[in-house]
Structure 1
Amino acid sequence: MKKLLFLILGILLILIAVLLIRTFTYPFKKNNSETKSVWKAVKNDSAVQRFSGGLKIPTVSTGELGNFDYSTFETFKEYLRKSYPLVYQNTENYEINKYGLVFRLKGSEPNLEPILFLSHMDVVPPGDADVKNKEENVFRPNDQPLPAVTKVAEDWDFGPFSGAVANGRIYGRGAIDMKGMLFSLMESMNNLIKSGYIPQRDIYLAFGFDEEVGGAKGAAQIAVHFKKQGLKFEAVYDEGGLILEKGSVKGIDSDVAVIGCAEKGFLSARIKVKGLGGHSSMPPLETAMGKAAIIMQRLEDDQMKPIMTPLIKQFFDNVGGTMPFVNRLAIANQWFLKPVLLSQLTKNNSTNALVRTTTALTMMKGSDGPNVLSPEVEFIVNFRLLPGNTVKDVKEHIAKATEGFDVEVEEIDNTKEASAISSTKTKSFTIIEAGIKEIYPDAIATPYLTIAATDAYKYQIVSKNIYRFMPIKINDPEKQSIHSTNEYLSIENYMKMIHYFEYIMKNYDR
């Protein structure tokens, strides 16, 4: 018996030694912040005012498949033309589907594959807050009135379409998502043209107008146009990741620049559950709503299995060196501790979304009366698909959850598979890292999985190197302002974003 105990103890000691050695010798990414010089942001009042003016134009996209008021988009197009005459005069530029905008700055070597920068001009509505009967200081061509959406929402410190410049910030709906990136790209290209710089390869800008409602009329049509032209892009750059301020990611003791090398897929299903209707005074033993509740409970309790994908493994390899010892232990010893690591990751909303196809119950409809039993109850469940899971897998998962019940399942919205994963072993990726070092040398740059949908997905037909990253450093309150109230972009972030894109454009082939 003693021999057995000693044997077990010996095995445990060896195991502990192996775990510790692997933890202390694991090749976590080292962040080298040594740079020849760090670029300092200098305020450019003219650039700020051009951006502010663009925020005053309420290019709101809403409604089914982009059936919304386009009058403000006409205003916005004209505003860009007046604000950036050099860009319009020195590029090949044209419209796709009337409102999509494309700019091509020709390079000196047409045999090289071009690079493409994306943005979108549409924004979400300012919110459901009550509005004052007071018109806002919005941009008006020839003093013409704009739609009622320009009234001031009470929950905003400054009007959602004021373009207010105050407190070192530029306020307005779309400041971060995503007119800040659109105007910084225009400023960057404008600066290149003004300086007489000629790139080696062509540089394209492409701006959609309905990204917030799926991008079917904007980015999708632009991508198809490029495909028909026979264009193949060396790299495509879009929104997605950000520079997360130290402390905003639990357990990571550093600024982290997360670069989206892939994005999750999407499937929303309407599930109609059949049962007996009637009066609530004589209910059946099991109502349609009760059956629906069972299915919903199954969907939440038995979700799709978590997976440590290669992309997320690389993410933790990069950021793990700044994490507490226990986290480093688990990351370095996934051969033994992967189940424990996945279990911990699934307990947090943000990390859970990185390692599994998520399940979100979003809407439900039953009877219209408190004493009426509906013979049919419907609810909607939304899945965001992890690369490695497929739409077919999700459909089988739904079928298992609804087994034993009389149901109808209908897909709604824009079902799509998870995107392809772009390599980090490319010039297209390393130039992003170099650009980040220019403006935030202490940030850890790492590949990441973009949780939300972007226009970038549509451009898979013209490039295999697609990266989702906006070079702005934000904290938790700023993150919360996106699609919410008091959205703003700091002037420092805006100046650094302009410099970042100008750096990428100038140095891609150096």
Structure 2
Amino acid sequence: MKKFLLIILGILVILAAVLLIKMYTYPFKKTPVETSDGWKLVKNDSAVMRLSGGIKIPTVSTGSLGEFNYAPFDQFKEYLKTSYPLVYQHTENNEINTHALVFRLKGSDPSLEPILFLSHIDVVPPGDADVKNKEQNIFRPNDKPLPPVSKVAEDWDFEPFSGNVANGRIYGRGAIDMKGMLFSLMESMNTMIKSKKMPKRDIYLAFGFDEEVGGQKGAMQIAEYFKKKGLQFDAVYDEGGLIMQKGNVAGVDSDVAAVGCAEKGFFSAKIKVKGLGGHSSMPPMESAIGKAAVIMQRLEDDQMKPSITPLIKEFFSNIGGSMPFTSRLALSNQWLLKPLLLSQLTKNNTTNALVRTTTALTMMKGSDGTNVLSPEVEFVVNFRLLPGNTLKEVREHIAKATEGFDVEVEDIDNTREASAVSPSDTKGFRLIEAGVREIYPGAIVTPYLTMAGTDAYKYQIVSKNIYRFMPIRINSSEQQSIHSTNEYISIENYLKMIHYFEYMMTNYDK
């Protein structure tokens, strides 16, 4: 027995040694050493006020396309023309489908594939209730009245379309999502033209107007326009990841610049479950709503299997070197510890979304009376597809969950597969790394999976190198303000973003 125990102990010692050797030799990306504070902020009040003026125009998209008010979009176009006359004079500029905008700054070498920067003009509604500060400062070009502004939630410090500049911030709906990026692109191109820093390759800007409601009339039409012209882009840049401030990525003691090299797919299904209706005084043993509950429980209990895709493996390899010992041990020894690693990742909402196609029950409808049994109950389940999973697999998953019940399944909303995964060994990605080091030298730059949908998805027909990233450094509360209350961008973030895009445009071929 003693000999047997010694053998077991020896095996455990060898295993521990193997695990440690693999951890210490694993190619985790080294955390950058901050040798400087990066680019020194240069005051630019005029740029700040141009963004402020753009936020004042309530370009809200909501509901079905064609139903929202287009007057502010017309006003916004005129505002850009008066704000950036040099850009309009020195570029080819076109309107696509009336409200989408495209700018082309010609480069010196037409043989090079162009690069494309995206943004969108529209914003989501501000919400409803009262504000802390009742002051209104709404932009009215040529004294034309705008539609009345909705009441907004109490958490707004200023009216959501005030564009108020206070406390080192620019407040308003769209400050981050995504007029801040739109105006920083216009500022960057304007500066290039002023300083006569002409690029080698053509630079395009493209601004959709309906991203928040699916992008069918904006980005999709622009992408088709580019395809008809025979354009292929060396790189496409859109919103997506952000620079998460130190301490906001659990277990990582550095800023993390998460660059979306792919985005999840989207599929919502309305499931109608049939049963016996009637009066609640004589209910059947199993009602339609009870059957629906069983199906919903199946969907939540038996979700699609998690996996660590190559993209997420690269993400963890890049940030893992800054993580605690136990995390590094598990990440570097997935040959043995992958089940344990996946078990831990799926316990957290954020990391669970990185490693699986998620299941979210979002809506439900039954009878309208407290004493009425509905003969049909419907609910909606939303899936966000991990690259590698397909719509066909999700539909099969639903079929398994509804087995044994009388149901109808209907696709709703903007169904789409997960995007292709863009490589990180390209010039386009390396320029992102260099650009981030310009403004935040100590940040870890890593490929990432974007959870939400973006306009970038539509541009797969004109490029294989699509990167979703906005170079602003924010904490979790600032991130939560996007599509929520009290949205703002700090002046520091805005000015650094302008410099970042100017750096990208002027250094792409250096």
| TM-score of the aligned structures, taking structure 1 as reference length | 0.98
The answer for the alignment partner of 2:454 in structure 1 is 454
CA contact (8 A) 1:153 1:159 kept: no
The answer for the alignment partner of 1:310 in structure 2 is 310
Structure 1 residue 440 displacement after superposition? 0.3
Paired letter, 2:19: L
1:293 aligns with 2:300: no
The answer for the alignment partner of 2:465 in structure 1 is 465
CA contact (8 A) 1:66 1:217 kept: no
- SS of 2:149's equivalent? helix
1:409 aligns with 2:409: yes
Structure 1 residue 149 displacement after superposition? 2.9
Q: Deviations over 1:8-36 (max 9, x none)?
A: 22211111110011112211101233557
Q: How does 1:189-268 map to 2 (within 5 A)?
A: 189-268=189-268
1:430, 1:155 → 2: CA distance? 39
Q: How does 1:4-153 map to 2 (within 5 A)?
A: 4-33=4-33, 38-65=38-65, 67-130=67-130, 136-149=136-149, 151=151, 153=153
2:120, 2:106 → 1: CA distance? 22
CA contact (8 A) 1:52 1:165 kept: yes
Q: Deviations over 1:300-352 (max 9, x none)?
A: 01000001000000000000011110000000100100010011000000000
1:183 aligns with 2:194: no
CA contact (8 A) 2:422 2:464 kept: yes
1:13, 1:295 → 2: CA distance? 48
Cα RMSD, aligned residues only? 1.4
Paired letter, 2:236: V
Structure 1 residue 131 displacement after superposition? 7.2
Paired letter, 1:397: H
- SS of 2:306's equivalent? coil
The answer for the alignment partner of 1:337 in structure 2 is 337
Structure 1 residue 134 displacement after superposition? 7.1
CA 1:487 to 1:246, structure 2 compared with 1: closer, same or farther past 3 Å? Answer: same
CA 1:133 to 1:407, structure 2 compared with 1: closer, same or farther past 3 Å? Answer: farther
1:493, 1:119 → 2: CA distance? 17
The answer for the alignment partner of 2:396 in structure 1 is 396
CA contact (8 A) 1:132 1:151 kept: no
Structure 1 residue 65 displacement after superposition? 3.7
CA 1:271 to 1:503, structure 2 compared with 1: closer, same or farther past 3 Å? Answer: same
Paired letter, 1:255: D
1:108, 1:170 → 2: CA distance? 37
1:358, 1:408 → 2: CA distance? 22
1:60, 1:335 → 2: CA distance? 50
2:25, 2:153 → 1: CA distance? 55
1:314, 1:105 → 2: CA distance? 35
1:398, 1:291 → 2: CA distance? 14
The answer for the alignment partner of 1:363 in structure 2 is 363
1:129, 1:350 → 2: CA distance? 30
- SS of 1:64's equivalent? coil
Identity in percent: 78
Q: Deviations over 1:91-141 (max 9, x none)?
A: 000100000000000000011000000000100000133579978311112
CA 1:153 to 1:6, structure 2 compared with 1: closer, same or farther past 3 Å? Answer: closer
CA contact (8 A) 1:135 1:151 kept: no
1:258, 1:356 → 2: CA distance? 18
- SS of 1:413's equivalent? strand
1:102, 1:17 → 2: CA distance? 58
The answer for the alignment partner of 1:419 in structure 2 is 419
2:165, 2:107 → 1: CA distance? 36
Structure 1 residue 38 displacement after superposition? 2.0
1:66, 1:30 → 2: CA distance? 50
1:133, 1:62 → 2: CA distance? 25
**Structure 1 unpaired stretches of 5+:** none
1:151, 1:503 → 2: CA distance? 40
Structure 1 residue 155 displacement after superposition? 3.1
CA contact (8 A) 1:66 1:213 kept: no
1:378 aligns with 2:378: yes
Structure 1 residue 66 displacement after superposition? 5.2
1:67, 1:339 → 2: CA distance? 49
Q: Deviations over 1:143-194 (max 9, x none)?
A: 1221123555543111100000000000000000000000000000000000
1:241, 1:337 → 2: CA distance? 29
- SS of 1:149's equivalent? coil
Q: Deviations over 1:204-244 (max 9, x none)?
A: 00000000000000000000000000000000000000000
CA contact (8 A) 2:128 2:150 kept: no
- SS of 2:250's equivalent? coil
CA contact (8 A) 1:92 1:103 kept: yes
